[in-house]
Amino acid sequence: SAVISQKPSRDICQRGTSLTIQCQVDSQVTMMFWYRQQPGQSLTLIATANQGSEATYESGFVIDKFPISRPNLTFSTLTVSNMSPEDSSIYLCSVDSREQFFGPGTRLTVL
């Protein structure tokens, strides 16, 4: 299994600002995933991030709103841009090594 850390663990942000979430893995992985978990809901995949290529976004999510970087095989960032209260969620990164393992999540509150 992989050990995954995320920063920050939580944040409270003002409407219209942006937040970058970092995800660090303790081993090299090909694919990293970013999910959103809204209050009372399950996990929804935002995008898949492969090193050396553009991220692949799911329906309903766009690069301008959720830009992703994947500079190497152990690290990725997700930016939530021009935030509104509807972006208040837990954001999770995961990695796939036969099974998907998840980070602890970033709890974002937008006022």
Does residue 48 belong to the site contacting another protein (CB under 8 A)? yes
Does residue 17 belong to the site contacting another protein (CB under 8 A)? no
Does residue 41 belong to the site contacting another protein (CB under 8 A)? yes
- Smallest gap from Cβ 110 to another protein, in A, equals 18
Does residue 104 belong to the site contacting another protein (CB under 8 A)? yes
Our CB check for another protein shows the closer of 86 and 99 to be 99
Q: Output b/e per residue, 75-97; b: 16+ Cβ within 10 A.
A: ebbbebbebeeebbbbbbbbbee
Q: Which of 107, 106, 82, 92 is nearest to 14 (CA)?
A: 82
Q: Count residues contacting another protein (CB under 8 A)?
A: 22
Bridge partners of residue 95, in order along the sequence: 32, 101
What is the distance between the alpha carbons of residues 39 and 51, in angstroms, rounded to a whole number?
Answer: 30
User: Which stretches of the chain bind another protein, using CB under 8 A?
Assistant: 1, 4, 31, 33, 41-45, 48, 92, 94, 96, 98-105, 107
